[in-house]
């Protein structure tokens, strides 16, 4: 069966006990997690989401909201899940992952655990203006955030590819409002970089209020994109939280 275009398995592992679904940050594509496929423990198979507007989905319709994006991903994910699964979302991907876990749980496919990275809890006030910046201001904001090579943003053709995607994702973030009573039941682990000046650890800790399950948090030394600099430790922390064999 042909797999949906919204999901990629860089290194299929049919013998793995778990499937890990990774949700990229604003402006990010599935390629940011490709290297993880070889570095994850053998008992984990990697599945990465590819949002509309990038790579092979450039022409696909833009989602109306983060919950709508998660609902579309959930419909596709149900066709490929065949083992216990976990979700990890970085930055904007944390909200997508949260909504995905909610949607999957409502359809009878609960997650084993949710990992949220570099994002405060859903009820913390979002940044609502970034998608309204002009091109130069948006480029400056991306460079200050890190994760985008300044040289790319100096190339007009690359700007034409990158900025509409980033602007669209930032609009989704600006307009995101969680359902007040929507709560998870699975364990939640929050990851944060201590040098990330765009979030507070108190805001990260508020994720504990969004699940009835256990909550813990892990701090890393890096900035907003720490998980691509400290990948081995991130994967180690993830592996330590895999459910035990029964």
Active site residue 6: no
Active site residue 224: yes
Point out the catalytic residue in the list 25, 90, 131, 224.
Answer: 224
- Of 6, 29, 91, 117, catalytic: 91
E strands within the chain?
Answer: 7-8, 18-23, 44-49, 85-90, 113-117, 188-193, 215-220
| Contact between 101 and 87 (Cβ < 8 Å) | yes
In DSSP terms, which residues pair with 189 in a beta bridge? 115, 216
Q: How many CA atoms lie within 13 A of 168 on its CB side?
A: 20
How far, in Å, CA of 151 to CA of 167, rounded? 19
Kindly write down the DSSP assignment for every residue of 185-225, as one continuous string: -S-EEEEEETT-TTS-HHHHHGGGGGBSS-EEEEEESS-TT
Q: Give the CA radius of gyration of the chain.
A: 17
* C-alpha–C-alpha distance, residues 209 and 56, integer Å: 37
Strands (E), 65-186: 85-90, 113-117
Active site residues: 91, 224
């Amino acid at each position: 069966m042909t797999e949906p275009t919204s999901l990629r398995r860089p290194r299929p592992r049919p013998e793995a006990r778990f499937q890990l679904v990774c949700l990229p940050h604003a402006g990010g594509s599935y390629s940011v997690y490709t290297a993880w496929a070889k570095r994850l423990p053998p008992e984990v198979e990697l599945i990465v989401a590819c949002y509309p507007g990038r790579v092979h989905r450039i022409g696909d319709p833009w989602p109306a909201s983060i919950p709508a994006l998660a609902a579309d991903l959930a419909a596709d994910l149900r066709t490929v899940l065949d083992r216990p699964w976990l979700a990890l979302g970085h930055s904007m991907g944390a909200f997508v992952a949260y909504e995905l876990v909610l949607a999957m749980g409502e359809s009878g496919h609960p997650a084993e655990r949710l990992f949220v990275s570099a994002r405060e809890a859903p009820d913390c006030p979002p940044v609502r203006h970034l998608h309204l910046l002009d091109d130069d201001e948006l480029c400056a904001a991306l460079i200050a955030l890190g994760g985008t090579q300044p040289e790319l943003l100096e190339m007009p053709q690359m700007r034409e590819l990158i900025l509409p995607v980033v602007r669209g994702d930032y609009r989704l973030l600006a307009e995101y409002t969680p359902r007040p009573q929507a709560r998870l039941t699975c364990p939640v682990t929050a990851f944060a970089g201590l040098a990330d000046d765009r979030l507070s650890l108190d805001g990260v800790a508020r994720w504990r209020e969004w699940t009835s399950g256990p909550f813990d948090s892990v701090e890393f030394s890096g900035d907003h994109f720490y998980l691509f600099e400290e990948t081995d430790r991130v994967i180690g922390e993830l592996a330590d939280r895999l459910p035990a064999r029964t």
